[in-house]
Amino acid sequence: MARYFKSDNTAPVAPSVMAALAAANQGYCSAYGDDPWTERLAERFDQLFERKVRVFPVATGTAANALALATLVPSYGSVFTHEQAHIVRDECGAPEFMTGGARLQLLPGDGAKLTPAALARGIADHPTSVHTVQPRAVSISQATELGTVYRPHELQALSTLAHAHGLAVHMDGARFANAIAFLGCSPAEATWRAGIDVLSFGATKNGAMAAEAVVFFDPDRAADFEFRRKRAAHLFSKMRFLSVQLLAYLEDGLWLQLAARANANARRLAGAAGDLLLQPVEANEVFVRPGADGIAALRAQGFAFYDWGSTDSGEARFVVCWDQPDGDVDALCTALEGIRSS
């Protein structure tokens, strides 16, 4: 039987989330978000972020990102983002599609993180006129595609620069829980207090079945989001089944407990990987270079993971799930230590 480290999307639903779904699956209520669970969700997100927000449940992270950006950026606009961002590598052009053609302007940065210097260069390198796309937003991944995490002061520096040039700031928070568990700060400190305007709040990777949310910290920015969500077929008629997942996910800090466990097991793998490690391990992803022979040996031992980097790079990515069996983590630690000593 394979030991799965391919993706946190391979994990099951957390028992309490599944129990909440079953409990909500009783009786009748109004559709399209006019239900008690969705009403409570709005209040819960206000509490979580310590201010009045607008929250919109959707089913996928791609929908959350693409629709959030479509609300911020017109078809003739552009979005500055890291060249390895998820919206670039893994969303099949959804942001461009949902915005009606806005361009993603790709910027470099170590650890898949944007820096103020890179953003400033990007802005300077793309002067605007009637002949050009118009920059309208910056999109940041938290945690990044390489498992690194922005500190609040880094987010503040990027946001301050972006806002000075009239750019809104979007955060792709597919692994937001893992980032907050690592930082140990409040969700508010890592979002709107650091200048973030819109957050794609992820839950599916960390214990939900299919539940994400778009959070607008300035309700006025939500503008036509409701219409865009409907037109994109993400206004669920039985919205209670998305909302109840998010409520259960946040209940008693479950979201952070699950993320903290995944992060801790990823750090164990990092310790075993030693000099094979390619990136600091700050969330639940581990990037290593065991070489072609090491990769073959790991697969022969039943570990399932993705190759990373260019073809024949000898690099691999391991993602630790919220419920990763301790035995699987132990076995992979031993295997990585074996490769180092061989």
**pLDDT tens track for 153-163:** 999 999 999 99
* pLDDT given at position 310: 82
Q: What letters, b where the CB count within 10 A reaches 16 and e where it falls short, cover 156-168?
A: bbbbebbeeeebb
Q: What is the CA radius of gyration of the chain?
A: 20
In angstroms, the CA 273 to CA 288 distance is 7
Q: CA neighbours within 13 Å on the CB side: how many for 143? A: 27
What string of DSSP letters covers 55-104? Answer: EEEES-HHHHHHHHHHHHS-TTEEEEEETT-HHHHSSTTHHHHHHTSPEE
Q: pLDDT at residue 331 above 80?
A: yes
Q: Are 281 and 267 in contact (CB under 8 A)?
A: yes
E strand or H helix at 228, and its extent?
helix 225-231
Q: Note the Cα 253 to chain centre separation in Å.
A: 18
2: which DSSP letter? -
Model confidence at 20, pLDDT cuts 50, 70, 90, reads: very high
* pLDDT given at position 223: 84
* pLDDT given at position 311: 80
Q: Answer left, alpha or beta for residue 319, where phi above 0 means left and psi between -120 and 50 means alpha.
A: beta
Q: pLDDT at residue 1 above 80?
A: no
Percent of the chain with pLDDT over 90: 96
pTM: 0.96
pLDDT of 287-305, one tens digit each? 999 999 999 999 999 999 9
In angstroms, the CA 262 to CA 284 distance is 6
* pLDDT given at position 2: 83
